[in-house]
Amino acid sequence: MHRIAHRIVFLDRDSLLANVRRPAFEHDWQDHAATAPHDVVARLRGATIAITNKVPLRAPELAQLPDLKMIAVAATGTDNVDLAACRERGIVVANIRDYSVVSVPEHCFALMLAVRRNLRAYAADVEAGKWERSTRFCLLDHPIGDLAGSRLGIVGYGALGRRVAQIGRAFGMEIAVASRSPVTDGDVMALSLDELLATSDVVSLHLPLNEQTRNMIGARELASMKKSSILINTARGGLVDEAALAEAVSNGVIAGAGFDVLSKEPPVPENPLLKLRLPNFVLTPHVAWASGGAMQTLADMLVDNIEAWVAGAPKNVVA
């Protein structure tokens, strides 16, 4: 009996609202809308290629999957995959890069503007009927700040950070960057993280989560920022100490924050950021990446990665 060379299993297909074309080689394909951790081994048994967006693949599970040769991550972040265990077992891991270079930066500025211009507070005032009862043509109950003329501090200067800088320039913002890589753009100030935090009016995070970056923004760092500054995070929730942020936003240590990510997703009810009901804090449910165009680009690149590996020329390899 002829044996199909590759069995592909997508563990969380419903996380990607796009058309996922089938690879141009002989294969068997199986989709699962979502996969609980205790179902991972059973669903991947016999699979040569696993696709995961956020389903964790750790060493104990990988040890039980001798046929697994490739993990195609349907995202940029790979913190849900044990890369060291994959290297030990010879499992190739490929991720998706630069697919959301439009979607994420646009969401980043949506958060900036919402906080800087107090959109939540004004929308709530209108819903409460305050405008109708006003004696003037407008309401001026909350401070409104411009982005033009302010300093945008970008932490991490990859494709997303550079795009954020480009949009910031269009708003008339001064650009400062804290990055491990050399910054060659002539109009960008390269600063240490400490100096960037202390001098920026808006700080936006654009770097991966790892042991070096986990909780890199804590109580000390928040206290070093301007009281008038805001913090934007569309990268990873674990970059920021959430309890410290909740306290900082509540007590005026910083002027506000806009977040699209939390340390655990879906969040646990006791997450302190879920309890904030403040006009100077905006939280969205990890959707910065998820424009229709970005998701289709991701889906196309996902299959490109799989086809490249099967053809013997793997790309976007992280392990």
Catalytic residues: 236, 265, 286
Q: Confirm if 59 and 39 have CB atoms less than 8 A apart.
A: no
Instruction: Tell me the Ramachandran region of residue 278: left when phi exceeds 0, alpha when psi lies from -120 to 50, beta otherwise.
Output: beta
Please give the Cα distance from 246 to 43 (Å, whole number): 39
- Per the DSSP assignment, residues forming a β-bridge with 230 are 202, 256
Q: Strands, DSSP E only, in 179-299?
A: 188-190, 202-205, 230-233, 256-259, 281-283
CA-to-CA separations, 199 to 46, 134, 157, 178, 195, in angstroms, rounded: 54, 38, 18, 12, 6
Which residues, in sequence order, are CB contacts of 53 under 8 Å at separation 6+?
Answer: 11, 12, 15, 16, 73, 74, 75
DSSP 101-124: TTHHHHHHHHHHHHHHTTHHHHHH
Instruction: Tell me the Ramachandran region of residue 172: left when phi exceeds 0, alpha when psi lies from -120 to 50, beta otherwise.
Output: left
b (16+ CB within 10 A) / e for 285-313: ebebbbbeebbbbbbbbbbbbbeebbeee
Q: What single DSSP character describes residue 21?
A: P
